[in-house]
A and B are shown apart, each in its own frame.
Chain A
Amino acid sequence: MNKICNRINIIAFALVLAAAFPILIFASRPEFSEVERRSLARFPELTLNGVFSGEFMRDLNLFFSDTVPMRDNLAGASSLIKSKLGFSVDGVTFHYVQNAEIPPPIEVIQHRPQEDNAASQTLAQTESPKWDGVIAAPDERFGENSEENEGENDDEVDISSAGVLVHRDRALMIVGWVSSAGERYASVINEYKRRLNNIDFYSMVIPSSIEFYCPVNYLNHYGIDQRESINNINSFLDDVTPVNVYSALSRRVALGENVYLRTDHHWAALGAYYAAEQFALTAGVPFAPLSSYEKVKIENFIGTMYGYSGRNPAILNNPEDFIYYKPANDYSTTYYIIYEGYDPELPVSSSLFLEQPVSESYCTFMGGDTRITHITTDVDTTRTLAVFKDSFGNALIPFLTGSFKEIYVIDIRFFPYNAFDYLKAKGVTDVLFANNIAVANDPYFIELIEKLL
């Protein structure tokens, strides 16, 4: 390089540093990432211990990199660049697919005789309250010929997954679990039933969307048979009635209905409606048709999977409509907030649907998870329902206001009381465990449920 080029090179380098320095020091730093839906790192507290252990510097590094001005925009640009580094095959791209976490084949240990006849596959039987807990194999794998896919899990806690598979405009979370955990999940619910024998217990294990939308070429790798996993759990239930939502959901997927969100790890309200319908049939309670609900549409929704997929541009560029349904009957909602700084004994009257930023539309149902929700309805019945759920269960609740006199909604992660005492004190007649399949197979969550009793 000649002298002039050297000078220009040095000046250009100095200018980049000189421009970045004040921006990074003085520009306002974001505190929340809309894309990742999480609070960003805070400036660490300066303590002598923190300095000597190196924790202060580590946290300062984290704060600095986590709260870069225009963070979400820059991270989006970074993802866009990454997406240009190669090509997709069959419209599929991966985001941190950890081979290790691909679940092993589920061993279905049937500890009691099961009738596995073809008739149990039929619509009539799956909708029957006397369903034996075994989801029979469908004639063909729903979704195999579909050109779409999607994922599962929970907010407010770390997502346990084996990565994200993006197929065209749909992101699917790859679920990982251990085969023995399902048995423990069932035994924990059995214990609830044993201790509270006069209450009717139901177990609804909600499949995730990868079960129905995994591209056919990838089925051997990521098309984990969730049907078998649910059968496995159900086979261990004693005096707890399983609710088969798998068949209803798979049928609706095959019909092309949007029962799962494309851009979020949850299901859609429509999927929750069909699941609630199955529960109502199983529990023998009235159930209002979808036509009686007020339909609310939020446009341009981009859910959690944009962040989880490493900000995949295919998700960003294809927002979807978030649709939910408001029941027509009369009901009132009271919240008990289980969160730092709130008094869990203090009732807060509010709406069942709480308006949220578009990207957090799924939290419209009761405002999320960090609360116990008590709903009283105008339904003429003596039955009181308690729902122990993860975030998937939130979408179910609006469809049950026409079925029970009272409903207590309990998130398994945010419940400070003893479940035995609580359920007795509230005069609960029915308990529904409504959790997605990853939670039902995750020892961490199972232990949480166990500890509540």
Chain B
Amino acid sequence: MIFADLLFLFIFLPINLLLYFAFKSNAYRNAVLVVFSLIFYAWGEPLMIFLLLATTEINRVFALFIEKHKGEKRGKAFAFLSIGLTLTSLFVFKYTPLFNLPFRPNLPIGISFYSFQIITYIVGVYKGRFCAQRSRLNFLMYVSLYPQLTAGPIVRYEDIHTQINDRKMRLEDISGGITRFVIGLAKKILIANQIGAAATSILDGDVSSLSVGGAWLGIFFFALQIYYDFSGYSDMAIGLGGIFGFKFPENFNYPYISKSISEFWRRWHMTLGGFFRDYVYIPLGGNRRRGWLNLLIVWILTGLWHGASWNFALWGLYFGLIIIAERAFVLKIADYIPPALSFIRVIFTFAAVMFGWIMFYFTDFVQMLAFMRSLFGLNNNPLYDIITTNLLYNQLLLVIAAIIFCTPVYRFAEKRGAAFNYLAPVTNAALIILCAIMLVGDNYNPFLYYRF
């Protein structure tokens, strides 16, 4: 099940909300959330729910041991064992396709997200940042909480552990959650799905015959699609969390206005970047020793986190090398650009990100290279063609809107415009109805990050 689905929106969610708010006590509400989270998960992965349950229970028990033997070698051993088992499970279920092994298990939905969440919990208990969760139900709720289970953000236990037993249901949080959820839904259905269909029509074809303009347009459309798709889903997750009284961390902060790749990764999938920084890069030694090597390791892992295919490793390596170059000299040169011309840096950064999306999109290296050749006119392809012009014009208004909403214009309007706030109830209702209409009979409704 995904959020941008009629069954979820108008059946699952209303029943869930009704039962959730029927109870006053957090304990009962948590039980409701666990039941609905397990249904939500089992809807897509009936058998893999047992892996989720087993992983959760094993780590809950291990955490209790770790806490009990805090400061002892046994505690450390349990921590390593717990993290090792979680990573082994992730490796077996996600990465065996990389090595052409005879068995190829199905990839459990959300395993990349809940594995990392569990690691933040184990490390936190080991470091004594918080107490281990004794309630089986509460810990299961933390791991399986459906708003963020399948596609993040990666919520660290310390982010919400106080909210598990004691969360206040404030009117403005519920209302804000609704608005955030509807914005995410609109980003996904009204923008990502529409532009994505056009992107697919360009990129899923004989890419060597594309015109130069067609190739650039295709990858530009994909850049918009993946941003609106993923950030839309994160908005929906954060919004749902808000409705249920949780405060999830932000995952996106207008990444396409970044002035460098380093900044881009501080704005894109922020919870993943934060995880790799705190749980891989810094433990490896950060920039104090073997800084460049640590960066490369982290970025290759970041790439591979997105999928069991070598193109993702290449994608990560690409960003790793750029960030190393930025630290070494690029940013120093870029600093010479006066602030008034900082848009030049934004354009260059966006171009570099777009080029990265090529490595992300094409799992087949032959296709990837053919596309890159088309991008620079090396396939004897024309500069532009009528098809490209037409595809752009067919959704020009949408593309303009998508570009505008990549900037903080909405945040600006929300803060400055009182009327904007008064209109929110009407626009939210209208948007959700509009989204529902767009979902009817729509056969293009993928979710790009669903399987990561």
List residues of A whose CB falls within 8 A of some B CB: 1-3, 5-18, 20-21, 24-25, 36, 51-54, 57, 60-61, 64-65, 68, 71-72, 74-75, 77-78, 81-82, 84-90, 92-94, 96-102, 163, 217-218, 220-221, 311
Contact = CB atoms under 8 A, between A and B. Distances in A.
Given A16-B433, A71-B441, A81-B434, A87 B205 contact: no
A10 B436 CA distance: 18
Given A21-B11, A92-B390, A7 B438 contact: no
A189 B10 CA distance: 54
Most buried by A among B17, B182, B438: B438
A61 B201 contact: no
B6 A15 contact: no
A99 B396 contact: no
Interface of B: 1, 5-7, 9-11, 13-14, 17, 42-47, 171-172, 174-176, 178-179, 182, 194, 197, 200-202, 204-207, 209-210, 385-387, 389-399, 421-422, 424-426, 428-429, 432-434, 436-442, 444
A4 B397 CA distance: 34
A18 B14 contact: yes
Contact of A12 (B13, B386, B429): B429
B201 A78 contact: no
A100 B200 CA distance: 10
Nearest to A217: B386
Contact of B5 (A5, A61, A77, A100): A61
B437 A74 contact: yes
B218 to A, nearest CB: 9
Contact of B7 (A11, A64, A84): A64
B390 A89 contact: yes
Contact of B197 (A14, A93, A96): A96
B204 A10 contact: no
B204 to A, nearest CB: 6
The SS class assigned to the B binding surface is helix
B355 to A, nearest CB: 20
Given A18-B14, A68-B440, A98 B204 contact: yes
A199 to B, nearest CB: 42
Given A1-B424, A65-B440, A87-B393, A16 B210 contact: no
A52 B47 CA distance: 6
A99 B425 contact: no
Nearest to A307: B441
B206 A100 contact: yes
Given A21-B14, A25-B11, A78-B438, A13 B429 contact: yes
Given A86-B392, A96-B197, 20 more contacts: A1-B424, A6-B171, A9-B178, A9-B179, A14-B17, A17-B13, A36-B441, A75-B442, A82-B194, A84-B397, A90-B390, A93-B394, A94-B391, A97-B201, A98-B201, A99-B206, A99-B209, A99-B210, A102-B209, A221-B387
Contacts of A54: 43-47
Nearest to B421: A1
B46 A52 contact: yes
Contacts of A90: 386, 390
A31 to B, nearest CB: 15
B174 to A, nearest CB: 6
B79 to A, nearest CB: 35
Contacts of A99: 201-202, 204-207, 209-210
Given A61-B1, A65-B6, A98-B205, A9 B394 contact: no
Contact of A97 (B172, B178, B387, B441): B387
A85 B194 contact: yes
Contact of B390 (A3, A12, A94): A94
A166 to B, nearest CB: 10
